[in-house]
Amino acid sequence: MASLINTTFSFLLQLSIALSFFHFCVATRKLEEQTDLYKFHYHNGPLLTGKISINLIWYGKFKPNQRAIISDFITSLSSSSTKISPNQPSVATWWKSTDKYFSLLKSKKSSPLFLSLGNQILDESYSLGKSLKDEHIKQLAAKGDKKNAINIVLTASDVAVGRFCTSRCGTHGSSLSPNNTPPKGKIYKFAYIWVGNSEKQCPDQCAWPFHQPIYGPQGPALVAPNNDVGSDGMVINLASLLAGTVTNPFGNGYYQGLADAPLEAASACPGVYGSGAYPGYAGNLLVDPTTGASYNAHGANGRKFLLPALFNPSTSSCSTLV
């Protein structure tokens, strides 16, 4: 009887140890999965490569100078389009840092990415009204070329867009071209971006650091480099979304976190524009001695811009121009 009890006790002890080890392994595995979720890595999807045209769809009324600021920024992405001293930080140098994402891919067959300014479409009559939803943004984006293109919808300061100013300043995504799109009705999957002008609605949320933020440390606002808080704020958001679009165009490229709320090339470095940045402080920036404007990049036609830091996948750190 004593032998039976000892045998039973020994069995239960071994079973208890085995179950404990099993639960420990499961818990460890879940922790590893959660930890992996917060790592910035590649999810095996395609990136944008080759020659890509950037088409601008202007929705609402923009001043000519506002359109020029955005257009000059797009032109500045290509080093061949600008004449800037190699010693000066430039938009082209900032953009070239996205090459790191492509160099990490195992496949080397794709052609290098080259962006250029494409067509510009004006819709100053507010054809879809002044209150837009996501489906309207896709509808407007579909007005641009679909093949080898990124279509950017830019909404004026008097246009309301769903969740604008509450949880987003812009967004990017992908859509399918309509069946009647030439040639011969071929369907293309194209990338698009939307950015709104926040000057009248929420510069405290979407144009920082050119306006004091609605929350957090209340440091003095910086002077916008092109003397237009709304447009200079749009450049910051457009730059961030453009970097996210080419490195995660269809939701399965480079990102950190959940697929439906990813942190991408620029959004993984929020509020960082120069070295030494911390919450409420954009970092050590260049200052124009004449205007007092803060910037970190030179661009086409003598422009100056403030651009966000980009996440360096090789060093797992945020890289700034200055």
Domain boundaries, the chain: 43-319
Q: DSSP letter for 45, please.
A: -
Residue with tokens 């709304």: 230
Mean pLDDT of 268-293: 97
- 170 pLDDT above the threshold of 60: yes
Q: CB under 8 Å to 313, separation ≥6 — which residues?
A: 40, 41, 100, 101, 104, 254
d(CA 185, CA 290): 54
- 84 pLDDT above the threshold of 70: yes
Of 4-13, 116-125, 132-141, 190-199, where does mean pLDDT reach its minimum? 4-13
d(CA 307, CA 47): 22
Q: Structure tokens of 61?
A: 């009324």
Dihedral of the CA atoms 161, 165, 170, 174 (nearest 10)?
-50
Contact assessment for residue 234 and residue 58, using Cβ atoms and an 8 Å cutoff: no
Q: DSSP letter for 301, please.
A: G
Q: How far is CA 2 from CA 7, 16, 194, 301, in A?
A: 9, 21, 78, 94
| Mean pLDDT computed over every residue of the chain | 88
Q: Structure tokens of 226?
A: 């092109």
Q: Give tens-digit pLDDT for 90-130.
A: 999 999 999 999 999 876 567 899 999 999 999 999 999 99
| Between 275 and 189, the higher pLDDT residue | 275
Residue 83 — very low, low, confident or very high, per pLDDT cuts 50/70/90?
confident
Q: Strand 286-287 to strand 294-295: parallel, antiparallel, or no bridges (unpaired)?
A: antiparallel
